[in-house]
């Protein structure tokens, strides 16, 4: 191989490595114009995410808490947004069982940290086999219709992007149904199982939060969560968190004239939704929990 060829190959490898790094550090992994218009392009042409205005400088929990709290949800249920709200109100970092490099460099420095040095630990998994991994859990529940749709969007366009309409019509290679139809069919039992397991198998206390209520009454719902994790914040801190509640990690609705769900899908969605609501009701009765909000999804 000639010297020139070696130089060209080396340059290509460097460019590929650089491109991978840029992709990994993008917190939205593919989100497009709605959040990355011209105002967020630097002079090199690379995407730049709007900066997060934190109410206070983020810090680690000190001393670390002996009781690690799980923040549990099905993907697409608003876990990242709730972490953002908690960090805004408390100034304490939140952790995750995962390593999302984009989130790590854009507001969530405790990715892949799962001990008591963080306020809560994000997970989309079933209760761990280790009985002492989590002492308690916040279970964030979102309507399966919206959660499954949000996660489908995430898979195609990142944390806040929206999948194109064509993605919902693309035919599966193995089946006659569309990839979207197969996805909904596969995810419905996953959505149901996750909530069932945390409400019936987890030994510690579970604080149930409905995403829809978090949106509707953010202040009261957030205050209840902070009481559950035994953290007190000032009125000023809460006011700041609410004033900045939108942040950059909520997906904006793109299509008002497009519903990818069929009538059969809606029947199946209602079935699993109602079964989980019954499990929630049974859990509250068993543990003598009063639902002050009277809310669900």
- 81 and 148 share one domain: yes
63 Ramachandran zone, left/alpha/beta (phi>0; psi -120 to 50): beta
Q: Which domain holds residue 250?
A: 69-286
Sheet holding 121-123, edge to edge: 95-96, 121-123, 69-73, 136-141, 206-210
- Inter-axis angle of helices 235-243 and 218-228, to 10 degrees? 130
108 falls within a domain: yes
My answer on whether 74 and 140 are in the same domain is yes
Q: How many domains does the chain have?
A: 2
Model pLDDT for residues 88-109, shown as the tens digit of each residue: 999 999 999 999 888 888 889 9
75 and 36 within one domain: no
Residues 160 and 279 in one domain: yes
Q: How far apart are CA 90 and CA 241, in angstroms?
A: 9
Q: What is the pLDDT of residue 101?
A: 87
Is the domain of 16 the same as that of 113? no
The residue ranges of the chain whose pLDDT is under 70 are 1, 3-51, 154-175, 248-257, 291-297
In-domain check, residue 264: yes
d(CA 141, CA 296): 9
Q: Where are the beta strands (DSSP E) in 159-283?
A: 206-210
Domain assignment present for residue 136? The answer is yes
Residue with tokens 């997060």: 52
Domain contains 132: yes
What is the pLDDT at residue 38? Answer: 29
Residue 94 is part of a domain; what is its CATH number?
A: 3.40.50.300
What is the pLDDT at residue 173?
63
- pTM of structure: 0.79
Q: Does residue 296 lie in a domain region?
A: no
């Amino acid at each position: 191989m000639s010297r020139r060829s070696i130089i060209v190959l080396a340059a290509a490898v460097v460019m590929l490595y650089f491109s991978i790094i840029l992709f990994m550090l993008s917190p939205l992994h593919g989100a497009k114009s709605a959040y990355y218009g011209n105002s967020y392009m630097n002079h090199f042409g690379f995407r730049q995410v709007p900066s997060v205005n934190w109410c206070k400088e983020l810090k680690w929990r000190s001393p670390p808490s002996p009781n690690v709290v799980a923040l549990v949800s099905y993907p697409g249920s608003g876990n990242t947004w709730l972490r953002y709200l908690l960090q805004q109100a408390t100034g304490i970092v939140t952790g995750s069982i995962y390593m999302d490099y984009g989130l790590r460099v854009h507001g969530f420095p405790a990715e892949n940290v799962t001990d008591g040095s963080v306020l809560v630990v994000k997970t989309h998994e079933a209760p761990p086999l280790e009985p002492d991994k989590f002492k308690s859990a916040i279970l964030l529940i979102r309507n399966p219709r919206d959660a499954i749709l949000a996660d489908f969007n995430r898979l195609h366009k990142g944390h806040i992007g929206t999948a194109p309409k064509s993605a919902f019509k693309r035919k599966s290679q193995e089946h006659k149904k569309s990839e979207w139809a197969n996805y909904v069919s596969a995810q419905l039992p996953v959505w149901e199982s996750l909530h069932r397991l945390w409400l019936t198998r987890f030994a510690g206390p579970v604080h149930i939060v409905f995403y829809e209520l978090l949106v509707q009454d953010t202040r009261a719902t957030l205050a209840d969560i902070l009481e559950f994790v035994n953290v007190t914040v000032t009125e000023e801190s809460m006011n700041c968190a609410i004033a900045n509640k939108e942040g950059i990690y909520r997906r904006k609705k793109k299509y008002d004239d497009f519903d990818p769900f069929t009538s059969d899908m809606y029947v199946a969605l209602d079935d699993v939704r109602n079964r989980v609501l019954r499990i929630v009701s049974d859990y509250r009765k068993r543990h003598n929990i009063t639902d002050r909000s009277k809310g669900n999804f």
